[in-house]
Amino acid sequence: MAIQLPPNLHVAERFDSLYQYFSQRYELEQLPLQIEPYQFTITAIKNIDQLLDELIEQGPESIGVKDERLPYWAELWPSSIALSQYIIGNAEITAGVTAIELGCGVGLAGMAAARKGAEVLVSDYQPDALRLTELNWLMNLDKSPAMQLLDWRSATLPQKFNLILASDVVYEKRFFNPLIGIFTNVLSPGGQILLSEPNRKIAREFFNSLGENGFVFHSVDSSVAFKGKNYQVAVYRICLKESNHFSGAAK
């Protein structure tokens, strides 16, 4: 698939710099994605095994190995597509809404919110995730996003957000309490969290903990067709009990 540079010269130069950074290291793939009424082209890393090999080569004492920093950021995941579909179809997300994307990966959910007019801060604890997200923003939105290198397991932020976006982040128990902590710390009064999750059994404990920490939630099922397969993903709307926007609970 041919790459068409963004029309703005400054944006094109930055895009080219990032594209060269990745293409000289990895085999890339271009993934066309239609989420009506928008068309996205997502750049992702095709050979994830190479990233895993590089992680192992760092040695057992490296922070990457000790912290099990697997390269999930380098792929486009069905949960991210489901979350983006929900964002684009959600009439509540309008111009002026402030949003943070946790664990941005390739950056799709943040781009979807930006398409709706939200003011988005993308974040990840992997510098290359931010670089890849910026490349995709330049390609699809002709601008760089606001970005922050952020480990949400230990970080505090001075600002609060109307909307928190997260896809496929509750796959390990060690993440549960830190996630609830950052939800509590950065969600604006009356705000909501949109979280997509591919119905893993391990996530049930997380949602039980949400209820114990003052949150209520509701889920909708989403079907995603991606790379010739169909995936079922649940998208959760989460808010604090005192600002409950909806009735019902997760399935």
In this structure, what CATH number is given to the domain that contains residue 94?
3.40.50.150
Our count of domains for the chain comes to: 1
232 in a structural domain: yes
Please give the pLDDT value at position 218: 95
Which residue range(s) make up the domain with 129? 76-243
Q: Which residues contact 156 (CB under 8 A, 6 or more apart)?
A: 185
Please give the pLDDT value at position 236: 97
Rounded distance between C-alpha atoms, residue 61 and residue 32, angstroms: 39
* Distance from the Cα of residue 221 to its chain's centroid: 18
5 in a structural domain: no
33 in a structural domain: no
Q: How many CB atoms lie within 10 A of CB 192?
A: 24
150 in a structural domain: yes
Token digits of residue 243: 């600002």
222 in a structural domain: yes
Coil/strand/helix, residue 86:
helix
Please give the pLDDT value at position 247: 47
227 in a structural domain: yes
Burial pattern 107-120, b for ≥16 Cβ within 10 A else e, equals bbbbbbbbbbebbb
110 in a structural domain: yes
Please give the pLDDT value at position 66: 45
Do 148 and 93 form a contact (C-beta atoms < 8 A)?
Answer: no
Return averaged pLDDT per consecutive 10 residues of the chain, 251 residues in all.
69 94 94 95 88 69 58 91 96 92 96 97 95 97 96 84 96 90 94 95 92 94 93 96 60 42
Q: Which residues contact 245 (CB under 8 A, 6 or more apart)?
A: 192, 237, 239
158 in a structural domain: yes
The amino acid at 221: D
Please give the pLDDT value at position 61: 66
